[in-house]
Amino acid sequence: MPVLYAIIRIRGVPDTPPDVEHTLKLLRLRRKYHMVVYPKDLPGLEGMLRVVKDWVTWGEIDEETLAQVLEKRGRVVGGSKLTTELLKKYFNAGSYEEMARKIFAGKVLLHKQEVIKPVFRLHPPRGGFKGSIKKPVGDHGELGYRGPAINELIKRML
């Protein structure tokens, strides 16, 4: 079962260095509070995360959280909401949970999708950030790698 990273852009566009902005565009994180999901073993991903570590937070998303993200924030190309009918038609999945299982099994790659938009637009977290958005997680901040704790943040942002 492959490990999936959820990557969320926390800091905005002003004063972003050009190399960081370019890497964020490659990751499809053009705006604040956008989230993408990539397999951990994707070539070059670790290096890209090292470049943008001061603008994003990331960690391992679990199946339950991914199903909630697909249900509440999933969009199809064209902008309409991702529905169970569309999941049944294109992916032979009867529910959001079944679709999340297929993504975790590697049968569906979210970042190479033609039907589902690979970027999820989230709210700012309910209750606010617990630390500074200018410091890494280890220094009582919000940036950088946070492991499975990313799921709690995502649930507050849905």
Question: Which has the closest alpha carbon to 42: 120, 109, 119?
Answer: 109
How many C-beta neighbours within 10 Å does residue 73 have? 19
- Taking only the tens place, the pLDDT of each residue in 101-149 is 888 888 887 778 788 888 999 999 999 888 888 999 988 888 999 889 9
How many C-beta neighbours within 10 Å does residue 76 have? 16
Q: What is the pTM of this model?
A: 0.90
- Domains delineated in the chain: 1-158 (3.30.1390.20)
- Distances from the Cα of 100 to the Cαs of 16, 37, 93, in angstroms? 33, 12, 9
Cβ atoms 145, 59 nearer than 8 A:
yes
How many C-beta neighbours within 10 Å does residue 53 have? 15
DSSP 154: H
Instruction: Please state, for a pLDDT cut of 90, what percent of the chain lies above it.
Output: 42
User: Binning pLDDT at 50, 70 and 90, where does residue 1 land?
Assistant: low
Question: What's the rounded mean pLDDT across residues 27-51?
Answer: 91
